[in-house]
Amino acid sequence: MSFPERVKIVEVGPRDGLQNEAVTVPAEIKVQLVEKLADAGLPVIECGAFVSPKWVPQMATSAQVFKQVEKRAGISYPMLVPNLKGLELALEAGVEEIALFAAASETFSQKNTNCSIAESIERFNAVIDAAQSEDLKIRGYISCVLGCPYEGKVSFDTVSMITQKLFDKGCYEVSLGDTIGVGTAGEARALIEILAKHAPVDKLAAHFHDTYGQALANIHAVMQCGVAVVDSSVAGLGGCPYAKGASGNVATEDVVYMLDGMGIETGVDMDRLLDAGRFISDFLGREPVSRAATALLRKRAG
Protein backbone atom coordinates (compact mmCIF):
# COMPACT_ATOMS: atom_id res chain seq x y z
CA MET A 1 0.00 0.00 0.00
CA SER A 2 1.21 3.51 -0.80
CA PHE A 3 -0.03 7.05 -0.30
CA PRO A 4 -1.30 9.29 -3.11
CA GLU A 5 1.06 11.96 -4.37
CA ARG A 6 -1.69 14.57 -4.25
CA VAL A 7 -4.91 14.89 -2.25
CA LYS A 8 -7.88 17.03 -3.22
CA ILE A 9 -9.39 18.81 -0.24
CA VAL A 10 -13.09 19.59 -0.38
CA GLU A 11 -13.79 22.50 1.98
CA VAL A 12 -17.20 22.09 3.60
CA GLY A 13 -16.92 24.78 6.29
CA PRO A 14 -19.28 27.34 4.72
CA ARG A 15 -22.01 24.69 4.55
CA ASP A 16 -21.47 21.72 6.86
CA GLY A 17 -19.42 23.85 9.21
CA LEU A 18 -21.86 26.72 9.64
CA GLN A 19 -25.21 24.95 9.32
CA ASN A 20 -25.30 23.97 12.99
CA GLU A 21 -24.03 27.26 14.44
CA ALA A 22 -26.29 28.99 16.95
CA VAL A 23 -24.95 32.41 15.96
CA THR A 24 -26.55 33.70 12.75
CA VAL A 25 -23.83 34.28 10.17
CA PRO A 26 -24.88 36.95 7.65
CA ALA A 27 -24.42 36.44 3.95
CA GLU A 28 -21.63 38.99 3.67
CA ILE A 29 -19.54 37.12 6.24
CA LYS A 30 -20.09 33.83 4.42
CA VAL A 31 -19.08 35.43 1.14
CA GLN A 32 -15.88 36.77 2.69
CA LEU A 33 -15.14 33.34 4.18
CA VAL A 34 -15.58 31.59 0.82
CA GLU A 35 -13.32 34.11 -0.91
CA LYS A 36 -10.64 33.77 1.79
CA LEU A 37 -10.76 30.01 1.34
CA ALA A 38 -10.35 30.53 -2.40
CA ASP A 39 -7.35 32.77 -1.65
CA ALA A 40 -5.87 29.82 0.25
CA GLY A 41 -6.08 27.62 -2.82
CA LEU A 42 -8.89 25.26 -1.85
CA PRO A 43 -10.02 23.64 -5.13
CA VAL A 44 -13.57 22.84 -3.98
CA ILE A 45 -15.60 25.03 -1.62
CA GLU A 46 -19.11 23.96 -0.67
CA CYS A 47 -20.92 27.28 -0.32
CA GLY A 48 -24.31 26.38 1.15
CA ALA A 49 -27.45 24.29 0.88
CA PHE A 50 -30.89 24.73 -0.62
CA VAL A 51 -32.73 23.26 2.33
CA SER A 52 -35.78 24.39 4.27
CA PRO A 53 -34.92 27.49 6.35
CA LYS A 54 -37.40 26.18 8.90
CA TRP A 55 -35.15 23.21 9.64
CA VAL A 56 -31.74 24.72 8.85
CA PRO A 57 -32.11 28.50 9.26
CA GLN A 58 -28.38 29.09 8.89
CA MET A 59 -28.63 28.13 5.21
CA ALA A 60 -31.46 30.57 4.40
CA THR A 61 -29.07 32.94 2.58
CA SER A 62 -27.44 30.28 0.41
CA ALA A 63 -28.71 31.67 -2.90
CA GLN A 64 -27.49 35.14 -2.01
CA VAL A 65 -24.11 33.82 -0.96
CA PHE A 66 -23.65 31.79 -4.13
CA LYS A 67 -24.57 34.70 -6.37
CA GLN A 68 -22.28 37.15 -4.57
CA VAL A 69 -19.18 34.96 -4.39
CA GLU A 70 -16.66 35.88 -7.07
CA LYS A 71 -16.21 32.65 -9.01
CA ARG A 72 -12.63 31.82 -9.89
CA ALA A 73 -11.30 29.60 -12.64
CA GLY A 74 -10.24 26.18 -11.41
CA ILE A 75 -12.41 26.27 -8.27
CA SER A 76 -15.69 24.38 -7.87
CA TYR A 77 -18.53 25.84 -5.79
CA PRO A 78 -21.01 22.99 -5.17
CA MET A 79 -24.28 23.44 -3.29
CA LEU A 80 -26.14 20.78 -1.34
CA VAL A 81 -29.69 19.99 -2.48
CA PRO A 82 -31.98 17.52 -0.68
CA ASN A 83 -34.83 17.25 -3.18
CA LEU A 84 -36.32 18.57 -6.42
CA LYS A 85 -37.37 21.84 -4.76
CA GLY A 86 -33.78 22.40 -3.70
CA LEU A 87 -32.61 21.64 -7.22
CA GLU A 88 -35.06 24.18 -8.60
CA LEU A 89 -33.62 26.85 -6.30
CA ALA A 90 -30.08 25.84 -7.23
CA LEU A 91 -30.82 26.21 -10.93
CA GLU A 92 -32.39 29.62 -10.35
CA ALA A 93 -29.17 30.69 -8.61
CA GLY A 94 -27.01 29.49 -11.51
CA VAL A 95 -25.37 26.57 -9.71
CA GLU A 96 -23.29 24.26 -11.90
CA GLU A 97 -22.53 21.51 -9.39
CA ILE A 98 -24.68 19.96 -6.68
CA ALA A 99 -24.26 17.49 -3.85
CA LEU A 100 -26.99 15.20 -2.56
CA PHE A 101 -27.13 12.72 0.27
CA ALA A 102 -28.46 9.49 1.70
CA ALA A 103 -27.82 7.66 4.97
CA ALA A 104 -26.65 4.11 5.67
CA SER A 105 -28.94 3.92 8.70
CA GLU A 106 -32.72 3.58 8.53
CA THR A 107 -33.31 5.51 11.76
CA PHE A 108 -30.96 8.32 10.82
CA SER A 109 -32.57 8.54 7.39
CA GLN A 110 -36.01 8.88 8.97
CA LYS A 111 -34.90 11.54 11.45
CA ASN A 112 -32.81 13.47 8.93
CA THR A 113 -34.99 13.32 5.82
CA ASN A 114 -38.30 11.80 7.01
CA CYS A 115 -37.97 8.84 4.69
CA SER A 116 -36.53 5.34 4.54
CA ILE A 117 -33.28 4.44 2.79
CA ALA A 118 -35.27 3.04 -0.12
CA GLU A 119 -37.34 6.21 -0.35
CA SER A 120 -34.20 8.36 -0.16
CA ILE A 121 -32.78 6.43 -3.11
CA GLU A 122 -35.93 7.11 -5.11
CA ARG A 123 -35.66 10.77 -4.14
CA PHE A 124 -32.03 11.17 -5.15
CA ASN A 125 -32.67 9.27 -8.39
CA ALA A 126 -35.26 11.89 -9.33
CA VAL A 127 -32.90 14.73 -8.41
CA ILE A 128 -30.02 13.18 -10.36
CA ASP A 129 -32.16 12.66 -13.47
CA ALA A 130 -33.33 16.27 -13.38
CA ALA A 131 -29.82 17.60 -12.67
CA GLN A 132 -28.30 15.59 -15.50
CA SER A 133 -30.85 17.04 -17.90
CA GLU A 134 -29.38 20.44 -16.96
CA ASP A 135 -25.77 19.20 -17.36
CA LEU A 136 -24.93 19.67 -13.69
CA LYS A 137 -22.07 17.82 -12.01
CA ILE A 138 -23.30 15.65 -9.14
CA ARG A 139 -21.54 14.53 -5.98
CA GLY A 140 -23.04 12.02 -3.55
CA TYR A 141 -22.82 11.90 0.24
CA ILE A 142 -23.54 8.92 2.46
CA SER A 143 -24.02 9.60 6.19
CA CYS A 144 -23.28 7.27 9.11
CA VAL A 145 -20.95 4.93 7.19
CA LEU A 146 -19.03 3.95 10.35
CA GLY A 147 -21.77 4.26 12.94
CA CYS A 148 -25.20 5.68 13.72
CA PRO A 149 -26.24 7.64 16.83
CA TYR A 150 -29.43 5.58 17.04
CA GLU A 151 -28.51 2.12 15.75
CA GLY A 152 -24.81 1.85 16.57
CA LYS A 153 -22.98 -0.27 14.02
CA VAL A 154 -24.08 0.00 10.41
CA SER A 155 -23.92 -2.60 7.67
CA PHE A 156 -21.03 -2.10 5.26
CA ASP A 157 -23.20 -3.98 2.72
CA THR A 158 -25.74 -1.14 2.98
CA VAL A 159 -23.00 1.44 2.47
CA SER A 160 -21.77 -0.53 -0.54
CA MET A 161 -25.28 -0.77 -2.02
CA ILE A 162 -25.90 2.99 -1.75
CA THR A 163 -22.42 3.76 -3.09
CA GLN A 164 -23.01 1.60 -6.15
CA LYS A 165 -26.39 3.20 -6.81
CA LEU A 166 -24.90 6.70 -6.64
CA PHE A 167 -22.12 5.79 -9.06
CA ASP A 168 -24.52 3.93 -11.35
CA LYS A 169 -26.70 7.05 -11.55
CA GLY A 170 -23.73 9.18 -12.62
CA CYS A 171 -22.24 10.78 -9.50
CA TYR A 172 -18.65 11.68 -10.25
CA GLU A 173 -17.63 11.20 -6.61
CA VAL A 174 -19.10 9.68 -3.43
CA SER A 175 -18.20 11.07 -0.03
CA LEU A 176 -18.26 8.64 2.90
CA GLY A 177 -19.38 10.38 6.08
CA ASP A 178 -18.50 9.23 9.59
CA THR A 179 -21.18 11.61 10.80
CA ILE A 180 -20.69 11.08 14.52
CA GLY A 181 -16.95 10.41 14.41
CA VAL A 182 -17.03 6.98 16.05
CA GLY A 183 -14.96 5.13 13.45
CA THR A 184 -11.42 3.91 13.93
CA ALA A 185 -8.61 3.35 11.43
CA GLY A 186 -9.20 -0.39 11.18
CA GLU A 187 -12.90 0.06 10.51
CA ALA A 188 -12.29 2.82 7.97
CA ARG A 189 -9.79 0.66 6.10
CA ALA A 190 -12.11 -2.35 6.20
CA LEU A 191 -14.92 -0.28 4.68
CA ILE A 192 -12.76 0.90 1.78
CA GLU A 193 -11.53 -2.65 1.14
CA ILE A 194 -15.16 -3.81 0.83
CA LEU A 195 -16.19 -0.89 -1.38
CA ALA A 196 -13.13 -1.39 -3.59
CA LYS A 197 -14.60 -4.68 -4.84
CA HIS A 198 -17.28 -2.77 -6.75
CA ALA A 199 -16.52 0.97 -6.62
CA PRO A 200 -13.68 3.09 -8.03
CA VAL A 201 -11.59 3.97 -4.96
CA ASP A 202 -10.11 7.04 -6.67
CA LYS A 203 -13.66 8.47 -6.78
CA LEU A 204 -14.32 7.97 -3.06
CA ALA A 205 -13.90 10.77 -0.52
CA ALA A 206 -13.35 10.66 3.24
CA HIS A 207 -15.70 12.87 5.28
CA PHE A 208 -14.67 12.18 8.86
CA HIS A 209 -15.82 13.98 11.99
CA ASP A 210 -13.40 14.18 14.90
CA THR A 211 -15.69 13.49 17.86
CA TYR A 212 -13.36 10.83 19.30
CA GLY A 213 -10.15 12.32 17.93
CA GLN A 214 -9.83 9.63 15.25
CA ALA A 215 -10.32 11.60 12.04
CA LEU A 216 -6.67 12.08 11.07
CA ALA A 217 -5.87 8.44 11.81
CA ASN A 218 -8.83 7.37 9.70
CA ILE A 219 -7.79 9.62 6.82
CA HIS A 220 -4.25 8.22 7.03
CA ALA A 221 -5.68 4.69 6.88
CA VAL A 222 -7.94 5.19 3.87
CA MET A 223 -5.26 7.06 1.92
CA GLN A 224 -3.22 3.85 2.06
CA CYS A 225 -6.13 2.18 0.27
CA GLY A 226 -6.10 4.75 -2.54
CA VAL A 227 -8.53 7.42 -1.31
CA ALA A 228 -7.21 10.80 -2.46
CA VAL A 229 -10.12 13.14 -1.66
CA VAL A 230 -10.71 14.51 1.84
CA ASP A 231 -13.60 16.65 3.08
CA SER A 232 -12.70 19.04 5.89
CA SER A 233 -13.96 22.17 7.60
CA VAL A 234 -11.89 25.28 8.24
CA ALA A 235 -11.24 25.87 11.95
CA GLY A 236 -13.02 22.58 12.69
CA LEU A 237 -16.42 24.22 12.38
CA GLY A 238 -19.58 22.21 12.46
CA GLY A 239 -21.43 19.29 13.88
CA CYS A 240 -24.61 17.46 13.03
CA PRO A 241 -28.04 18.68 14.15
CA TYR A 242 -29.31 15.08 14.09
CA ALA A 243 -26.38 13.56 16.01
CA LYS A 244 -26.26 14.94 19.55
CA GLY A 245 -22.74 15.64 20.75
CA ALA A 246 -21.06 15.13 17.39
CA SER A 247 -18.24 17.59 16.89
CA GLY A 248 -17.36 19.17 13.60
CA ASN A 249 -15.56 17.75 10.63
CA VAL A 250 -11.85 17.33 10.94
CA ALA A 251 -10.23 20.76 10.68
CA THR A 252 -8.79 21.68 7.30
CA GLU A 253 -5.70 23.12 9.00
CA ASP A 254 -5.00 19.79 10.72
CA VAL A 255 -5.40 17.85 7.47
CA VAL A 256 -3.14 20.21 5.52
CA TYR A 257 -0.51 20.15 8.27
CA MET A 258 -0.46 16.33 8.22
CA LEU A 259 -0.34 16.12 4.43
CA ASP A 260 2.37 18.78 4.17
CA GLY A 261 4.43 16.79 6.64
CA MET A 262 3.99 13.66 4.55
CA GLY A 263 5.08 15.43 1.39
CA ILE A 264 1.64 15.04 -0.18
CA GLU A 265 0.58 17.94 -2.38
CA THR A 266 -2.68 19.80 -1.76
CA GLY A 267 -2.13 23.20 -3.38
CA VAL A 268 -3.32 24.86 -0.15
CA ASP A 269 -1.43 27.82 1.34
CA MET A 270 -1.36 27.29 5.10
CA ASP A 271 -0.85 30.94 5.99
CA ARG A 272 -3.90 32.02 4.03
CA LEU A 273 -5.88 29.09 5.38
CA LEU A 274 -5.04 30.26 8.89
CA ASP A 275 -6.30 33.72 7.94
CA ALA A 276 -9.63 32.24 6.83
CA GLY A 277 -9.99 30.21 10.00
CA ARG A 278 -9.09 33.17 12.17
CA PHE A 279 -11.61 35.35 10.34
CA ILE A 280 -14.62 33.09 10.91
CA SER A 281 -13.54 32.15 14.44
CA ASP A 282 -13.27 35.82 15.39
CA PHE A 283 -16.76 36.43 14.06
CA LEU A 284 -18.11 33.50 16.07
CA GLY A 285 -16.25 34.67 19.14
CA ARG A 286 -14.15 31.60 19.81
CA GLU A 287 -10.84 29.98 19.05
CA PRO A 288 -10.42 27.63 16.06
CA VAL A 289 -11.15 23.99 16.88
CA SER A 290 -7.87 22.94 15.30
CA ARG A 291 -4.70 22.02 17.11
CA ALA A 292 -2.53 22.89 14.14
CA ALA A 293 -4.21 26.30 13.75
CA THR A 294 -3.89 27.06 17.46
CA ALA A 295 -0.18 26.20 17.49
CA LEU A 296 0.65 27.97 14.24
CA LEU A 297 -1.26 31.13 15.16
CA ARG A 298 0.60 31.30 18.48
CA LYS A 299 3.88 30.82 16.64
CA ARG A 300 2.89 33.55 14.19
CA ALA A 301 2.10 35.93 17.05
CA GLY A 302 5.59 35.36 18.47
CB atoms within 10 A of CB 251: 30
Distance of CA 207 to the CA centre of its chain: 6
Q: Is 225 a catalytic residue?
A: no
CA–CA gap between residue 99 and residue 87 (Å, rounded): 10
Catalytic residue among 47, 144, 171, 240: 240
- SS (HEC) of the chain: CCCCCECEEEECHHHHHCCCCCCCCCHHHHHHHHHHHHHCCCCEECCEECCCCCCCHHHCCHHHHHHHCCCCCCCECCEECCCHHHHHHHHHHCCCEEEEEEECCHHHHHHHHCCCHHHHHHHHHHHHHHHHHCCCEEEEEEECCCCECCCECCCHHHHHHHHHHHHHCCCCEEEEEECCCCCCHHHHHHHHHHHCCCCCHHHEEEEEECCCCCHHHHHHHHHCCCCCEEEEEHHHCCCCCCCCCCCCECEHHHHHHHHHHHCCECCCCHHHHHHHHHHHHHHHCCCCCCHHHHHHHHHHHC
Distance of CA 241 to the CA centre of its chain: 15
CB atoms within 10 A of CB 295: 12
Catalytic annotation, residues: 240
